[in-house]
Amino acid sequence: MRRLTLRSAFIALAAVLVMVAAPAWALDAAQARAIAVGDGDARIAALQDAVARADPGLATFAQALLDDSVKTTATGVFIVHDDKAVDAVTGQPARLPDDAEDVSNNNRMRGALQTALSGLRLVSPELATRRAAVDDLTKGDADPALLPVIAKAIARETDAGLKSRLERLKAAAQIAAPDRAQRLQAIQLLSNSGEPTVRALLQSRLAPDAETDLELRAALAHAVTQVDGRLAWGERLGVLFTGISLGSILLLVALGLAITYGLMGVINMAHGELMMIGAYTTWGVQNLFRHFAPGLFDAYILLAVPASFVVSAAVGAILERGVIRFLYGRPLETLLATWGISLVLMQGVRSLFGAQNVEVENPSWMSGGIAVTSNLVLPYNRLAIIAFAALVLLATWALISRTRLGLFVRGVTQNRRMASCTGINTTRIDTLAFALGAGIAGMAGCALSQVGNVGPDLGQSYIVDSFMVVVLGGVGQLAGTVLAALGLGLMNKMLEGIAGAVLAKIFVLIFIVVFIQKRPQGLFALKGRSAES
């Protein structure tokens, strides 16, 4: 509870302080130090004190603290932005003493600073800033003490959407007001919110001792169901999205296999390792950018995709030339050879880059996500992967069914003797096809590096899944692969909601086993070489 009153205190005062336009710097060294160092309670007290004195230097200083860019010495306090030190008190540039120590804040301190700032920002001229402030306050619990500030903010607010959210904040604060009419109004206002916090608030009012008026209780119950309705949508969409997202990943990991295994009948146990190579390539490209073009860092992925394709494709081509071409028509033996290959590749990466995972940093535009509803965030990296999967699929499909190469590939894989009679250089086609499959695996690895581990056994965790997808889809059937991938993805996620992750996976596998009984050739049967064998 203490936290709340504290936070409301800030906001009230902060608001006041914005009214009084004051000179930029007024914080004295002792106070700055008191806020910066010491134990939690003392620092917060000092902060509170500073706010109480409507200290104009506070905003900058608090922000600096949040950015972990404040350093202190026995006497001075400095704000350091890209190694240019500024005296926190005077605001004048200063030389940073060598004994200056970082100021570190724990979550509680950060919370306090955040609240103070959002208090200040609630009435800032920039819409974005205000919105951020409102977001921040909405996350917290409602408190009657907020009312005056919110009232002021509402009065000044021009943006309709923001205004209504402020109204709701106000209502939330009034939900326990002594005046019955206010309470009723509050409930009605809140009933058209979609905020999880609001739901919790309403719920809490339904507690036996909270709201006594029967009519209002009914209103509350009604409001809760309405809010729930909105939340429920968020959840349903959430499941759908996660399912599709998982499906897109399955699709990516299976596409390459759909070619090497589906079309060429090579049980490529090294498929996972080809993905792993793609992921490591991405890591390599990322490092290059970090060292040579830090400015363009966010663009590294654009180069990483083709790079991972090329590298994996090259490895694939070498494998095909060196090993696999001797094993055509003996699918079960390619299994053994490629298994051996995968062992070698894994250990190779271990010796080269170490057994530990390597860090692949998302480009900044890929971190975070869009909040579709208050309880549904679509992460950018997942969206990107879904789009990417779609593109790769499109490209593959076009390549297979629209180009000469694709025609040859299909020709060779369906009847190599006939194909070679018609003058196609089958060995070359084989190499190309396999390289293509490997390359796609590489791109899949590049995508995986954005959501998960990049380590030597990255591939191992996907190899079973990818085979399941291809087999379920029907060997040699792109359409089937797509359907299977999305189907399994959705199925897995829906079951996960019900039965939990472990059982969900088991059910899915059992489903596959049973399904194959019904459709021994997968969703789409295929007449051709790899179907028999």
Partner 1 sequence: MTPAAPVQLLPESRRGLLLGVRGWSAVIGVLAVIAVLIPLLNLAVPAGNPLHLGDYGVALVAKIMCYAICALAMDLIWGYTGILSLGHGLYFALGGYAMGMYLMRQIGHDGNYRSDLPDFMVFLDWKAMPWTWAGSASFVFQMILVVAVPAVVSGVFGWFAFRSRIKGVYFSIITQALTFAGMLLFFRNETGFGGNNGFTDFKRILGISIAAPSTRMVLFVLTGLTLVAFYLLARAIVNSKYGRVLQAIRDAESRVMFTGYDPLKYKLSIWVLSAVMCGIAGALYVPQVGIINPSEMSPAASIEMAIWAAVGGRGTLVGPIVGAFFVNGAKSWFTQAFPEFWLYFLGALFIAVTLFLPRGIMGIKDRLKKEKGVEVKA
Partner 2 sequence: MTTSRRSFSLTLGALAAFASLTSMTPAQAADTIKVGILHSLSGTMAISETVLKDTALMTIAEINAKGGVLGKQLEPVVVDPASNWPLFAEKARQLITQDKVAVVFGCWTSVSRKSVLPVFEELNSLLFYPVQYEGEELSKNVFYTGAAPNQQAIPAVEYLMSKDGGSAKRFVLLGTDYVYPRTTNKILRSFLHSRGVKDEDIMEEYTPFGHSDYQSIIAKIKKFASEGKKTAVVSTINGDSNVPFYKELGNQGIKATDVPVVAFSVGEEELRGVDAKPLVGHLAAWNYFMSIKNPTNAAFIKEWSDYAKSANLASKDKPLTNDPMEATYIGIHMWAQAVEKAKSTDTDKVIAAMAGQTFKAPGGFVSTMDPKNHHLHKPVFIGEIKPDGQFNVVWKTPGPIKAQPWSPYIPEDKGKKDEPEKK
Q: Under the rule (CB under 8 A), what is the footprint of partner 2?
A: 3, 40-41, 68, 104, 106-108, 110-111, 114, 139, 196-197, 199-200, 203-204, 235, 238-239, 241-242, 245-246, 249, 346-347, 350, 352-362, 367-369, 371, 375, 377, 379-382, 451-457, 460-461, 493, 496-497, 500-502, 505
Interface residue with partner 1 among 509, 524, 525, 528 (CB under 8 A) is 509
Name which of 26, 10, 104, 30 is nearest 60 in CA terms. Answer: 26
Residue closer to partner 1 by CB (options 405, 509) is: 509
Which amino acid appears at position 338 of this protein? T
Per CB under 8 A, the list member of 24, 332, 352, 421 interacting with partner 1 is 332
**Residue 331 lies near partner 1 (rule: CB under 8 A):** yes
Give me the DSSP letters along 300-311: HHHHHHHHHHHH
Amino acid symbol at 272: G
Which residue in the set 18, 252, 512, 526 belongs to the binding site for partner 1 (CB under 8 A)?
Answer: 512
CA 431 to chain centre: 37
Write down the least CB distance from residue 490 to partner 2, Å.
12
In DSSP terms, which residues pair with 378 in a beta bridge?
Answer: 370
Contact between 245 and 395 under an 8 Å Cβ cutoff? The reply is no
- Cβ proximity to partner 1: between 267 and 429 the closer is 267
Which of 158-165's residues contact partners 24+ apart within 8 Å by CB, and which partners? 159/127, 159/130, 159/131, 162/127, 162/130, 162/131, 162/134, 165/134, 165/138
528 counts as binding partner 1 under rule CB under 8 A: no
Q: Is 412 in the site for partner 1 (CB under 8 A)?
A: no
The closest of 174, 170, 165 to 211, measured between CA atoms, is 174
The binder of partner 1 chosen from 296, 339, 370, 428 (CB under 8 A): 339
Query: Who's near 158: CB < 8 A, 6+ residues apart?
Result: none
Question: Which helix (DSSP H) or strand (DSSP E) does residue 515 occupy?
Answer: helix 501-518
User: Which of these ranges, 141-149, 215-223, 297-305, 342-350, lies near partner 1 under the rule CB under 8 A?
Assistant: 342-350
Distance in Å, CB of 501 to partner 2, minimum: 5
Among 267, 275, 276, 313, binds partner 1 (CB under 8 A): 267
Quote the least distance from Cβ 349 to partner 1, whole Å.
Answer: 11
H/E stretch holding 102 reads: strand 101-102
Choice between 333 and 361, CB closer to partner 2: 361
Q: Which stretch binds partner 1 (CB under 8 A): 68-76, 119-127, 322-330, 480-488?
A: 322-330
- CA dist 388 and 385 (Å) reads 5
Which of partner 2, partner 1, none interacts with 532 (beta carbon under 5 to 8 A by kind)? partner 1
DSSP tag of 53:
T
Burial of 288 (0-12, 13-18, 19+ CB in 10 A): middle
Which residue of 23, 98, 502, 527 would you call a contact of partner 1, by CB under 8 A? 502
**What's the min distance (Å) between Cβ of 438 and partner 2?**
22
Minimum gap (Å) between residue 491 Cβ and partner 1: 14
What CA–CA distance (Å, rounded) separates 465 from 495? Answer: 16
For 370, list phi and psi in degrees, rounded to 5: -95, 135
Q: Are 175 and 190 in contact (CB under 8 A)?
A: yes
Q: How far is the CB of 262 from partner 1 (least distance, A)?
A: 10
Number of residues that bind partner 1 (CB under 8 A): 49
Query: What token pair was written down for 25?
Result: 């710097």
Paired strand residues for 78: 71, 87
d(CA 425, CA 528): 20
Q: Binding pattern to partner 1, positions 347-386, x when CB under 8 A? A: xx--x-----------------------------------
Instruction: Give the interface with partner 1 as residue ranges (CB under 8 A).
Output: 261, 265, 267, 269, 323, 326-327, 330-337, 339-344, 346-348, 351, 460, 463-464, 467-468, 471, 475, 502-503, 505-506, 509-510, 512-513, 516-518, 520-522, 530, 532-533
